Amino acid sequence: MTDPASGNFGDRLERAIREKQSVAAVGIDPTLDLLPPGLAARGASGPEDLASALREFCLGLVRAVADLVPAVKPNIAFFEAFGLPGLSVYRATCRAAAEAGLLVIGDVKRGDIGSTAAAYAAGLLDCPRLPRRSPEEAEPPPGEALLGPHDALTLNPWLGSDSVGPFLARGCGRGQGFFILVKTSNPSSSEIQNLRLAEGGTVAERTAGLVRGWGENFRGAGGLSAVGAVVGATHPAELNRFRELLPDAPFLVPGYGAQGGTAAGVVPAFRPEGGGTVISASRSVLRAWRGENRPDDWPGAARRAVLAMNAEIAAALKAAGRRGWR
């Protein structure tokens, strides 16, 4: 199923982690209160200036962390909050990240019936990774208007196989991957995900079984599948359990930092041989300029926050006698 030109997403993720010697994925989730004062002031004069300030913030973050992390994870909600101009900034952010050599994980959490899932997949997976940009080109290339490019997406499993299948069919063969929401980082995630089943185990554990099945035909040369799981950093004991249930799935672990996830807590997400996971942090990186009280050097502050996060995770892995990457 693998297109040799692009490779399996599991292999691409492992390679990116090894090249960067880092497992951090920066969540690019811009809100007005995260904008440093200079940009916030510029953005206050009207909708177009606001979009331009958001764009500068997001693209500046991408440049600041590009050599330090394997991936970025923009959450489309924070762009949709600013309407169509915000979604245009989302697209610009994905492009800038792809051009900087980063994997782009679109945090879109889509889930719908099969025919609708196919429409979402077309809109979110077909944007070309590096569109041609020659000035003679009058007509934009196909897919130029689409959201992305995306190397991976997050998906919601509530509707079952029908809702995931069209994404896998369209993307896995050309190097794209998927992280299914198995156990989310938020407090009320237990309300449905942790319900105990009559057959034993929990709803989330049964969902992990579905994810394992979905990923079986999409393993890369290194063994890691293109179909992975989201498991929150805020549940270390469950991380351990889900790694047992999903030995070959890439993990996307959100909730580090602002939501309370710790370096020691994310150690169980790693495969025994190292790698296989990215740990994402959003607010703790984007608002790092506040903690340092250096609003003018917000890119430097973001960079230092990522370096600190990497160092914390490396130290926690070492303390646990575990490897971060191969």
In the complex, the residues that contact a copy of itself under the rule CB under 8 A are 29, 31, 46-47, 75, 77-78, 80-88, 91, 109-117, 119-120, 122-124, 127, 139-140, 143-147, 156-163, 181, 184-193, 195-199, 203, 206-207, 210, 259, 283
Chain CA centroid to CA 120, Å: 17
- How many degrees, rounded to 5, is the angle at CA 69 between CA 63 and CA 72? 70
DSSP H or E run through 251: strand 251-253
- Coil vs helix vs strand at 58: helix
Which residue lies nearer to a copy of itself by CB, 110 or 241? 110
Residue 310 CB, nearest approach to a copy of itself (Å)? 24
Residue 322 CB, nearest approach to a copy of itself (Å)? 27
Which residue lies nearer to a copy of itself by CB, 34 or 305? 34
- How many degrees, rounded to 5, is the angle at CA 106 between CA 194 and CA 6? 115
Candidates 149, 27, 61; CA nearest to 98 is: 149
Q: What's the one-letter identity of residue 257? A: G
Which residue do the tokens 């063994």 mark? 223
DSSP H or E run through 236: helix 236-245
Give the CA dihedral 309, 193, 199, 114, nearest 10 degrees: -100
Cα separation, 137 vs 4, in Å, equals 29
* Ramachandran region, residue 156 (left: φ > 0; alpha: ψ -120 to 50; beta: rest): beta
Residue 173 CB, nearest approach to a copy of itself (Å)? 19
Residue 199 CB, nearest approach to a copy of itself (Å)? 7
* C-alpha distances in Å from residue 92, one per residue of 56, 106, 233, 248: 10, 13, 29, 32
CB 233 within 8 Å of CB 277: no
- Coil vs helix vs strand at 131: coil
Which residue lies nearer to a copy of itself by CB, 101 or 160? 160
Q: Within 10 A of 217 (CB to CB), how many other CB atoms are there? A: 12
Which residue lies nearer to a copy of itself by CB, 14 or 151? 151
Which residue lies nearer to a copy of itself by CB, 40 or 203? 203
For the chain, report the end-to-end CA distance as a whole number of angstroms: 25
Residue 85 CB, nearest approach to a copy of itself (Å)? 5
Residue 205 CB, nearest approach to a copy of itself (Å)? 11
Which residue lies nearer to a copy of itself by CB, 6 or 31? 31
Candidates 264, 254, 203; CA nearest to 228 is: 254
Catalytic entry in 20, 73, 109, 183 = 109
109 noted as active-site residue:
yes
Which residue lies nearer to a copy of itself by CB, 143 or 222? 143
Residue 129 CB, nearest approach to a copy of itself (Å)? 15
Active centre residues (catalytic): 109
